[in-house]
Amino acid sequence: MNSRRDVLKAAALAAFVPLLGGAARSAPTPPGALARKGALKPPRIRAGDTIGLMIPSSANWDPLELDVLLEALAALGLKGKLGAHVNDRYGYLAGRDADRAADLNAMFRDPEVKAIHCIRGGWGAARLLPLIDFDAVARNPKALIGYSDITALLLALHARTGLVTFHGPNGASEWNSTNVGWLKRVVWDGEAATFANPREPTRALVPTEHRTRTMHPGKARGHLLGGNLTVLTAIVGSPYLPDFTDSILFLEDVQEAPYRIDRMLVQLKLAGVLERVRGVVWGTCSKCDPGEGFGSLTIPDVLADHLLPLKVPAYYGAMLGHISTQFTLPLGVEVELDADAGALRMLESAVS
C-alpha cells in the first residue's frame, strides 16, 4: 500500500490543474470533468454466468489467491475466466500497461463474459485509462466490480459511457457471507438496497462495532459517485473524471496520515468538487491514526473542517473501505442519503 501512495503522490501533483482567477468566482468547473451521461445499466449476474477476472493494477504474487477466487465463484454457481496476463509482472505492476488494458478490453468484447471482477488493487489502473476502448464498453455494458485503486476504472468508465460500476470487494478480498450477500443483493438480484451498518449484539453494554456518526443532519438525493480518496484526487484535471454536480459523494482510504487526507480534501475543494455535492458519506480510513503523542489533527477533525461548511447531510463510519466486510455500492444510480440514520437508500436498481 505504501508503494501505491508514493507513486500517487507524484501522480496527484501532475494531474492537478490550479484554478486561475479572482476570489469572486464561485463553484468553478472541475478541470476535465465530463458532463453527466444517463446511467447505462449492465445486465445482472445470473447462475451459470462466466465472470472475467483481470488485474489492472499491482501484480499478484500468490497463486493461491486465484485458486480461492475460482473456487468461490464455483460455489456461487459461476465460472471464472482468467485474463491472458493475470500472471504477468512488470516491477510492481501486473504486466505492461498495454497488456493489462488488452485484458480489460477483451473482456468487454467477449460475449461469453457477463461481468468483470478485478482481482486486486494497489496501483496502476489509472495508467490504463488512455488505452481503454470506451466504444466497446458502451456497446457491451457489463458490471465491473472492485475498489481501492480500481476507483480509477469505476469513475472513468462511468464518466465516458454512463456505465453503472460497482465499488465492492476485489476478487482477492475475503469471500465472507457479508460481502457475498451485498454483491448478490445489488448485482445478482437487482435489489434497490438500503446500505446501513449492522448493529450486531456484542458482549458490551451497547454496540461498539460498525458505528456511524452524523456530522450534519438531514436527507439528500443524488447520483452516487466516489471511491478511494487518493485515487480519485489523482485523476482530477483529467478527462476521466465524472461530473459531481448534485451527487452523493462517498469516500474511503487506507494508511494515510491525517495531513494527507486534509491535503486531498483541499484539492477536491479547490477543484470545485465539494461545492457541487448534495451529501457526503465517509467510510473508513484504516491505519490513519494521528500517531503517538497526538500532535496532529485527527480524521474527524479534518472531516469537520471540510465537510461541515458545505452544510449538506453527511456522516462517517459507513461500512466501506479497506475492511473485511463491506457494501457493494453502485456508481451512477440515484440514492437517498439519511445522515441521521447513517444510511444510503438506492432509489432504483443498478442492473437491467
Q: Closest Cα to residue 278, out of 209, 238, 232, 226?
A: 226
Classify 128 as helix, strand or coil: helix
Q: Closest Cα to residue 265, out of 307, 316, 309, 207?
A: 307
Please return the burial class of 296, using the count of CB atoms within 10 Å of its CB with bins 0-12, 13-18 and 19+: middle
* Beta-bridge mates of residue 195: 344
For residue 169, CA distances in Å to 6, 195, 245, 246, 280 come to 23, 15, 27, 26, 21
Alpha carbon of residue 241 to chain centroid: 13
Catalytic choice (57, 58, 117, 148): 148
Residue 75 · residue 67 · CB < 8 Å: no
Residue 329 · residue 320 · CB < 8 Å: yes
Annotation marks residue 256 as catalytic: no
Q: How many angstroms separate the CA atoms of 187 and 159, rounded?
A: 20
Alpha carbon of residue 16 to chain centroid: 20
Q: How many angstroms separate the CA atoms of 60 and 97, rounded?
A: 15
Catalytic choice (117, 158, 167, 322): 322
Adjacency order of strands within the sheet including 194-196 = 194-196, 343-346, 334-338, 219-228, 247-254, 279-286, 314-316, 213-216
Catalytic choice (247, 252, 256, 306): 252
Annotation marks residue 148 as catalytic: yes
Residue 340 · residue 333 · CB < 8 Å: no
Task: Give the three cell numbers for residue 78.
Answer: 459461476
Annotation marks residue 322 as catalytic: yes
Q: At a CB cut-off of 8 Å and minimum separation 6, what does 177 contact? A: none
Q: Which residues are catalytic?
A: 148, 252, 322
